[in-house]
Amino acid sequence: MGVRTRLADRLFPSGRGLAPPEPFAPGDVLAETSELVVRLGGREVLAGVSLRARAGEVLALVGPNGAGKSTLLAALAADLPADEGAVRVCGRPVAQWPARELALRRAVLPQAAALSFPFAVEDVVRMGRAPWAGTDLEDDDERVVREAMAATEVVEFAARPFSALSGGERARVALARVLAQRAPLLLLDEPTAALDLRHQELVLRICRERAAAGEAVVVVLHDLGLAAAYADRVAVLRGGVLAAEGPPAEVFTGELLSHVYRQPVEVFPHPRKGAPLVTPVRGRGPS
């Protein structure tokens, strides 16, 4: 019995007869919050946030440390309960989804990828197929796992223990696991944080490809340049409040970003692509 099968047996009941997620049209809302309030440790981390993630789009959550980006992503994933307001996935309140059905509709990449046992890389990626065990689409497992590993460039160390990988390699394997889940809603928390320049671009290109295939991608990013280049919409959070939301070319202004980050910022159009280029205002050092 394989790792994925054992994991599926432990986490989910039999999937025989379970219908896959229904198809969605571009622009359909796959996840949304309405006046969402989340409190952690007695502190209000999100204060009345309303936001929608649509099929066919990449939505980037940006903002300074402590702004509420990861909390918002966790609430969309049903990993954190709402204290007030509502969270819906595929039109249904998240609390009404059985765990197995929710796992078929949204896949989550947390900030940190840690495993207690020395699973091989390929087995880790295969874990993403656990929700599909026993369903009519289980036969797609091998193909889907191969495609996810190829997309994230982890095939060459498929047999290596996950614990032996570098931080960036682990991040790519964790993303491959999420891609293998083949959910129409991807929720990614800082997927580029541990990556080099090449693989940062690779991950955001994957986000664009998944959106082009009709999925909704919500990604937490600190790099405003990546957000401007790859996101269809950005949501700027500050102090648990949605400060602005819309296309990067409209939202990313020097005035707004300087206020949100408490750091003077300049915004220029890219000379060829036109996407906003964001750079902090820096004083000259000693000559």
In a domain, residue 124? The reply is: no
Domain assignment present for residue 149? The answer is no
Task: Give the pLDDT confidence score for residue 40 in this predicted structure.
Answer: 95
Residue type, 219: V
First to last CA, the chain: 67
- Domain presence at residue 167: no
Domain CATH code at residue 190: 3.40.50.300
Nearest-angstrom CA–CA distance, 135 and 147: 20
In a domain, 162, yes or no: no
Nearest CA-CA partner of 108 in 131, 140, 76, 67:
76
Instruction: Point out the residues of the chain with pLDDT beneath 50.
Output: 1, 4-9, 11-12, 287
C-alpha distances (whole Å) from 43 to each of 30, 74, 277 are 29, 16, 34
pLDDT value, residue 4: 47
Q: What's the pLDDT tens digit per position in 129-138?
A: 999 988 776 6
**Residue 175 domain-assigned (yes or no):** no
Amino acid identity at 174: A
Residues spanned by the domain of 64 = 28-118+181-280
- Partner residues linked to 43 by β-bridges: 40
Query: Is residue 131 one of the residues assigned to a domain?
Result: no
On whether the pTM is more than 0.85, the answer is yes
Task: Tell me the pLDDT tens digit for each residue of 94-114.
Answer: 999 999 999 999 999 998 777
Average pLDDT, the chain: 91
pLDDT for the residue 273: 85
If one counts the domains in the chain, the total is 1
Give percent above pLDDT 70 in the chain.
91
Asked, for residue 59, whether it belongs to a domain, the answer is: yes
Position 231 in a domain: yes
pLDDT at 1: 42
Beta-strand relationship, 276-280 and 265-269: antiparallel
Nearest to 252 by CA among 272, 233, 239: 233
